[in-house]
Copies of this chain bind each other. A is one copy, B any other.
Amino acid sequence: MVIVMHSDASEDHLRTVVERVESLGLAAHVSRGTERTVIRVIGDERFVDHQTFEALDGVERVVPILHRFRLASRDLHPQDRVIELPGGILLGSKDVVMMAGPCAVESREQLQEAAGAVHAAGVKVLRAGAFKPRSSPYSFQGLGQKGLLMLREVADELGMSVITEVLTPEDVPEVAEHAEMLQIGTRNMANFRLLRAVGKATKPVLVKRGWGATLDELLLAAEYVLAEGNEQVAVCERGIRTFETSTRFTVDINAIPALKQISSLPVVVDPSHGTGRADLVAPVARAGVAAGADGLLVEVHPNPPEALSDGAQALTPMGFAKLMEEVRRVAGAVGRGVS
């Protein structure tokens, strides 16, 4: 942490800041310059609130030096973290892991058709929502527990793993019983009670980036899970909110290599939510793989216009089969396989 003093700060102001630093068990290096005096704080700043200094008289601003996450960082954990799913699927390793399926479980038929299609295209991880967070109370909210059981059964019929969203701490045990991987949705990235709850589960967790969250905040959300002892965490870029309105969200492609540089967690991309438009899913999926993503989360529906949610971004089974071919070629070009 570096504390910058105001140009007109007095020696008394400076002394008070140094004393405050020292009272917290940290050391202070004072550097006087031509226009500003700067204090470098020595010690683990992750456990010190920088606002405690900003509120002192004479302080202009405080600049953090370290990221606030530790367990999620590459500093502390240099080698890539790998998550193992049944069937030898390794997320964060050489192969790009495909996770696909409908936005929501709507019926056994719809789910079987969608799951059958993605399975036929080579996918081993089935995604679908039983508990759906929806902006409007008047929208379809998912089949709930019934959907969860259906999801389990259909996945079992095909020998697939399940990734599905969990919405609230009290649902964690049940969802963890029926799914191989728990998903924290974009709206819940900063639901810290929920993060702690999945941190106590024994299943891997995928934390989706809040659409208004920075990369540091995303990794701090992952840190909540890691800090509870669950080391099987991956993060997902799913589009952020910007001023551009021709797509629902803007996929932050820079985030993929940027995350991998500061963190050893696997990084997944969701081109379906990240664009909101079926016609853009394939090119953005290819881009994600080319940029280094470890996995893709893609929505597929047997009949998109009949979808009860997010039909505009769902691929048809045929569209998805084509995407798989394209993703395989791009993965090959960056020295990876697809599983």
Q: B residues within 8 A CB of A318?
A: none
Q: Please state if B35 and A31 are interface contacts (CB–CB under 8 Å).
A: no
Which one of A109-117, A119-127, A145-153, A324-332 is at the B interface? A324-332
Which one of A81-89, A94-102, A154-162, A245-253 is at the B interface? A245-253
A191's contact among B191, B227, B274, B287, by CB below 8 Å, is which?
B191
- The residues of A with any CB-CB pair to B shorter than 8 Å are 2, 4, 7, 20, 29, 31, 33-36, 38, 40, 42-44, 46-47, 49, 51-56, 63, 65-66, 68-69, 75, 133-141, 167-170, 187-188, 190-194, 210-217, 220, 223-224, 227, 240-247, 250-258, 261-262, 274-275, 277-280, 283-284, 286-292, 304-314, 326, 329-330, 332-334
Smallest CB-CB separation from A256: which chain B residue? B283
Smallest CB-CB separation from A252: which chain B residue? B250
Q: A161 CA to B255 CA in the complex, in Å?
A: 33
Q: B residues within 8 A CB of A246?
A: 214-216, 254-255, 258, 262
| A interface: dominant SS | mixed
Q: Please state if B223 and A136 are interface contacts (CB–CB under 8 Å).
A: yes
Q: Please state if B243 and A212 are interface contacts (CB–CB under 8 Å).
A: yes
Smallest CB-CB separation from A6: which chain B residue? B75
A30 to chain B minimum Cβ distance, whole angstroms, is: 9
Q: Please state if A138 and B307 are interface contacts (CB–CB under 8 Å).
A: no
Smallest CB-CB separation from A224: which chain B residue? B137
Q: B residues within 8 A CB of A169?
A: 168, 170
Smallest CB-CB separation from A310: which chain B residue? B51
A238 to chain B minimum Cβ distance, whole angstroms, is: 12
Q: A220-B137, A255-B244 given as contacts; is B36 within 8 A of A65 (CB)?
A: yes
Q: A135 CA to B284 CA in the complex, in Å?
A: 29
Q: Please state if A257 and B279 are interface contacts (CB–CB under 8 Å).
A: yes
For A36, A247, A253, the residue with the greatest tally of chain B CB atoms inside 10 Å of its CB is A253
Q: A191-B191, A220-B137 given as contacts; is B332 within 8 A of A55 (CB)?
A: no
Q: A2-B63, A38-B2 given as contacts; is B290 within 8 A of A7 (CB)?
A: no
Q: Please state if B254 and A258 are interface contacts (CB–CB under 8 Å).
A: no
For A188, A190, A223, the residue with the greatest tally of chain B CB atoms inside 10 Å of its CB is A190
